[in-house]
Copies of this chain bind each other. A is one copy, B any other.
């Protein structure tokens, strides 16, 4: 194809076109577009006007090729609409937006053989300056990432599962959330607290379990057997059926709200009242939590704060390859006490209280 140096019919304008119109060199256009210093205000204005007149749009592919930087961050998520992961993803998008980077997304399905390693690999393949791994789960020891990753990595909601050149983390708060829940229940007077855990391949699920366990131990309470669910309301329902059969259960901490809701449903179906007979607490504070019956006591997860803090670290690591990671504070724990928790029933003198809701 011949050089279309003079005309650009149907072709997007290039920086050289802008340069000609503004009467400067192409390099100067580049300087202006990148907001570099050492450009006189007059030249800058002329370039900007010319660019605007032409409808100039910087070609990112060319920039990436020449500079080796893509100005995009890749995120690996679970391919699920679960409230937690979805909220985190949205938080990440917002946070990335603020940093001026673009966002690429790749999902890992649960049970995906390639798992996180495959997703990271494909991101590296597409070209990203940094990677966010959101809520990783261990897929068959998939934690060992055999890919060499030489861009900074942010792990959200789990400690570094593998060694990469520069890894930062954020959102390691499940432990505290679980502690807050457990203590709330203990303070109400419950002798102990049962736990309906999330799938243990998830770090978040393990961390919540540990937080619960540690809190119980700290208060010298007996640790009841753990029931493991899969985050779904259906699994909560199944767990509720089992728990309802045990008269000693007076308080249950479900690792997320969906399971808590399923659990409550099962309890109600067999005639156990919540919270009069059994208190139930969830975790997440999903949008409907305040409107189920009874309104659910739960802890809110700080998704946006986590995403923002994490991205700040990641971008810092990208742009300052040699600097040390700056630690961020953990966001405050936000326990939302509603009506699914109450003191344990008085066994000797059952309180007969009528509630219409």
**Interface, chain A (partner B; CB < 8 A):** 1-8, 55, 57-62, 64-65, 68, 70, 72, 79-83, 86-87, 89-90, 93-94, 97, 102-107, 109, 117, 121-122, 124-127, 146-151, 232-234, 236-237, 257-258, 261-262, 264-265, 268-269, 271, 286-288, 290-293, 295, 356-357
Listed from nearest, the 8 A-B pairs whose CB atoms lie closest are: A61-B64, A8-B68, A86-B86, A81-B87, A233-B291, A265-B291, A61-B65, A1-B146
Check B62–A7 contact: CB distance below 8 A: no
Check B102–A104 contact: CB distance below 8 A: yes
A148 with B5, Cβ < 8 A, contacts A90-B107, A94-B107 known: yes
Residues of B within 8 A of A268 (CB): 293, 356-357
Question: Which residue on B lies nearest to A266, using beta carbons?
Answer: B291
- Contact partner of A4 (CB less than 8 A), chosen from B62, B65, B109, B150, is B150
Check A105–B93 contact: CB distance below 8 A: yes
Check B79–A357 contact: CB distance below 8 A: no
Residues of B within 8 A of A65 (CB): 59, 61-62, 65
Question: Which residue on B lies nearest to A109, using beta carbons?
Answer: B94
Check B59–A127 contact: CB distance below 8 A: yes
Check A2–B288 contact: CB distance below 8 A: no
Residues of B within 8 A of A97 (CB): 106-107
Check A291–B261 contact: CB distance below 8 A: yes
Distance in Å: Cβ of A156 to nearest Cβ of chain B: 15
Question: Which residue on B lies nearest to A165, using beta carbons?
Answer: B6
Cα(A134)–Cα(B69), bound, Å: 29
Distance in Å: Cβ of A336 to nearest Cβ of chain B: 14
23 intermolecular pairs with C-beta atoms under 8 Å apart: A1-B147, A6-B150, A58-B125, A59-B127, A60-B125, A60-B127, A61-B61, A61-B70, A64-B64, A80-B90, A81-B87, A94-B107, A103-B105, A105-B105, A258-B288, A261-B291, A262-B288, A262-B291, A264-B293, A265-B291, A268-B293, A269-B357, A288-B292
Cα(A232)–Cα(B104), bound, Å: 29
- Contact partner of A234 (CB less than 8 A), chosen from B81, B151, B290, is B290
- Contact partner of A147 (CB less than 8 A), chosen from B3, B58, B62, B292, is B3
Distance in Å: Cβ of A89 to nearest Cβ of chain B: 8
Query: Which residue, A61, A87, A233, A290, has most C-beta atoms of chain B within 10 A?
Result: A61
Check A291–B90 contact: CB distance below 8 A: no
- Contact partner of A232 (CB less than 8 A), chosen from B103, B122, B287, B357, is B287
Distance in Å: Cβ of A348 to nearest Cβ of chain B: 23
Query: Which residue, A57, A90, A146, has most C-beta atoms of chain B within 10 A?
Result: A90
Check B121–A287 contact: CB distance below 8 A: no
A117 with B1, Cβ < 8 A, contacts A107-B93, A125-B57 known: yes
Residues of B within 8 A of A86 (CB): 81, 86, 89-90
Cα(A68)–Cα(B287), bound, Å: 44
Cα(A271)–Cα(B236), bound, Å: 28
Distance in Å: Cβ of A214 to nearest Cβ of chain B: 29
Residues of B within 8 A of A236 (CB): 291
- Contact partner of A127 (CB less than 8 A), chosen from B61, B147, B287, is B61
Cα(A265)–Cα(B339), bound, Å: 13
Distance in Å: Cβ of A102 to nearest Cβ of chain B: 5
Check B271–A356 contact: CB distance below 8 A: yes
